[in-house]
Amino acid sequence: MEIIVSEDADQSLTHPLVRTHPVTGRKALFVSPVYTVGIEGFEAKEAQAILGFLFGHITQDRFVYRHKWRPNMLLMWDNRCTVHLAEGGYDGHLRLMHRTTVAGDKPV
């Protein structure tokens, strides 16, 4: 796999924990066990406790979709309201991914 690294990849950004989807107006937690490292205004220990609770909440089975791959499938999702993680399901097969990112709004 080839990963093209950019200088922007190491940026530290601040985003709201709850964001409003710009199209639907619905509220969504905007946290990720991979990328969310703290909460502005909270001590690290307290922030980690809150984030641990939120990570547990967003990964409950009732919120999880597990995809069963078949040949020639295409899967798309909206990163503004989705946490995603590859868990396999393609063993012994070529995994080909193309990522398209559309410039958009700043999380609010």
- Radius of gyration in angstroms for the set of CA atoms belonging to the chain, rounded to a whole number: 16
Q: Which residues contact 28 (CB under 8 A, 6 or more apart)?
A: 18, 19, 21, 80, 81
**Based on the number of CB atoms within 10 Å of its own CB, is 83 exposed (0-12), middle (13-18) or buried (19 or more)?**
buried
Q: Where are the domains of the chain?
A: 13-108
d(CA 81, CA 100): 16
pTM to 2 decimal places: 0.75
Q: What is the pLDDT along the chain (108 residues), one digit of tens a residue?
A: 555 666 766 678 888 999 999 999 999 999 988 889 999 999 999 999 999 999 999 999 999 888 888 888 888 888 888 888 777 777 777 777 777 777 777 776
